[in-house]
Amino acid sequence: MRLEIFRSPDYDFIGKRKWAYLVSALFTLAGLVSLATQGLNYDIDFKGGTLVQVRFEQPPSVQKIRGALATINLGEAVIQEFGDAREFIVRLPLAGASSQAVSDRMSQALGSDPSLGKFEIRRVEFVGPQVGRELQTQAVYAVLAAMACMLGYIAYRFRSIRGGTAAVVAVIHDVIVCLGSLSLAHREFSLPTLAAVLTVIGYSVNDTIVAYDRLRENRGRAGSKGKPFAVQMNDAVNQTLSRTVLTSLTVFFSVVILFFFGGRVLEDFAFVLVVGVFTGTYSTTYVAAAVMVDWTEWSERRGSGRGPKAPAVERPRPKPKAATKA
C-alpha cells in the first residue's frame, strides 16, 4: 500500500509561477545584499588563526573572559559558548606561536581573575592563513564541480539541456538563500557548514529529478498527447507532491532535532539543512519547473514563427487558344 498525503491533487503550481519568481527574487536579493555588506563569518578553518577550547567549573560571563584576555594582548578575540554555559571557544587572530605558548598565556590571563574560578584548556588548534585561503578556494571549486556534474547528468539522462540548466538555476537559488541566511543570522561558515551546503545541493536536485522523471513518463502516454507543456509539467509536480512532502517532512524533523539537541558543534550544520529543506522543496516547483516551462514555451513560440511563409503569388492563367477554321 502506497502512503499518500494528497489524493489526486490538482493544484495550479505552474500557473502561479510569476508570483513565485517575485518571492524568489526577494529572497535571493536579500541574501546577496547581506553577503555583499556583511559577508560570511568564516571559521578558523577558512581564515586562519588559533582556536582555544576552555571549560570552566562555573559558568562565567563573556565580558569577564574578554577582560582577562585583554591583559595579555592576544588580539581581538571571538568568544562563543560551545555546548553549554561552562564551555567556550576562543578564536584568536594569532599566528606563529606554538600551541604550548598559547596555552600558557591563556592560563596566565584567565588565572589572573579569581572570579572566573577553575578552568581547563582542552585543546589548542592553529590554522595558517595560506591553508585558510586554499580551503576557501576548494570550497568554491567543490560547489561549482557539483553543479557542473549535475548539469551534465540531467542533460544526458533526460536528453534536455533545458532541464539541466533549469535544475542548476534552482541549485544556485538554493545556495544563495542558504549562504544569505548564514550571513543574516551571523552564523559561522565552516567545513561542516560547507558539507551541509553540498547536501542541500544534492537534496534539491534529487527532488527535481523525480519531477522530471514523472514528466518523461507522462509524455510517453497517449493521454498527454496534445496537452500544453505547462499542463504536463504541472501534472508531474502534482503527481509527485505526496512523495515530495513526505521526504521533506522526514528530513525536516531530523534536522530540527539535530539543531536543538546536536550541540553547538552541529548547530550551524543543522541550520543550513533546515533552510535548505524549505528552499530545496520550493525551488523544485517554482524555480526548476517554472524556468523549464517558460524556456520551452519561448522556444516553441520562436519555432512556430521561424521561416514565415511567403505570400502566394497568383500565376497568370494561359489564354484560351483561338478556334481554327476548318
CATH number of the domain where residue 72 is located: 3.30.70.3220
- 68 vs 62: CA distance, rounded Å: 10
Last residue of a domain, one of 102, 127, 152: 127
Per-residue pLDDT, averaged over 138-159, amounts to 82
pLDDT at 130: 63
Q: 249 pLDDT exceeds 50?
A: yes
pLDDT at 294: 92
**Residue 278: which of 167, 168, 203, 206 has the closest Cα?**
203
Task: List the CATH number of the domain containing 25.
Answer: 1.20.1640.10
Contact 151, 168 (CB under 8 A): yes
- Dump pLDDT digits (tens) for 83-109: 778 898 888 876 666 778 888 888 888
What band does 319 get if pLDDT is binned at 50, 70 and 90? low
Q: 136 pLDDT exceeds 80?
A: no
**Structural domain boundaries enclosing 285:** 14-41+132-301
Residue 315 counted as domain residue: no
Q: 4 pLDDT exceeds 70?
A: no
Q: 308 pLDDT exceeds 70?
A: no
pLDDT at 317: 54
- Dump pLDDT digits (tens) for 267-280: 899 999 999 999 99
Q: Give me the helices (H) in the chain, please.
A: 17-37, 44-47, 62-69, 99-111, 129-157, 161-184, 191-219, 229-239, 241-261, 264-283, 290-304
pLDDT at 148: 85
Residue 9 counted as domain residue: no
Last residue of a domain, one of 127, 155, 178: 127
DSSP 311: P
What Cα–Cα distance (Å) separates residue 300 from each residue in 228, 289, 306? 11, 16, 10
- 171 vs 198: CA distance, rounded Å: 10
| Same domain assignment for residues 34 and 168 | yes
| Same domain assignment for residues 141 and 110 | no
What Cα–Cα distance (Å) separates residue 108 from each residue in 49, 144, 280? 20, 46, 49
Domain count, the chain: 2
| Same domain assignment for residues 268 and 255 | yes
pLDDT at 320: 56
Per-residue pLDDT, averaged over 289-303, amounts to 87
Other beta carbons within 10 angstroms of residue 319's beta carbon come to 6
- Please enumerate, as own/partner, the contacts of 90-93 that have beta carbons within 8 Å and a separation of 24 or more: 90/51, 90/52, 90/53, 90/54, 90/65, 91/44, 91/49, 91/50, 91/51, 91/52, 92/49, 92/50, 92/51, 92/52, 93/49, 93/50
DSSP 89: E
Residue 261 counted as domain residue: yes
| Same domain assignment for residues 162 and 149 | yes
pTM over 0.85: no
Residue 264 counted as domain residue: yes
| Same domain assignment for residues 159 and 111 | no
What Cα–Cα distance (Å) separates residue 67 from each residue in 74, 99, 110, 216, 239? 12, 22, 9, 64, 61
pLDDT at 67: 86
Residue 8 counted as domain residue: no
| Same domain assignment for residues 113 and 147 | no
Per-residue pLDDT, averaged over 122-126, amounts to 85
Last residue of a domain, one of 61, 94, 127: 127
The percent of residues above 70 in pLDDT, for the chain, comes to 87
Q: 16 pLDDT exceeds 80?
A: yes
- What the block records as the C-alpha cell of 108 is 596566565
Residue 291 counted as domain residue: yes
| Same domain assignment for residues 259 and 119 | no
Residue 309 counted as domain residue: no
What band does 307 get if pLDDT is binned at 50, 70 and 90? very low
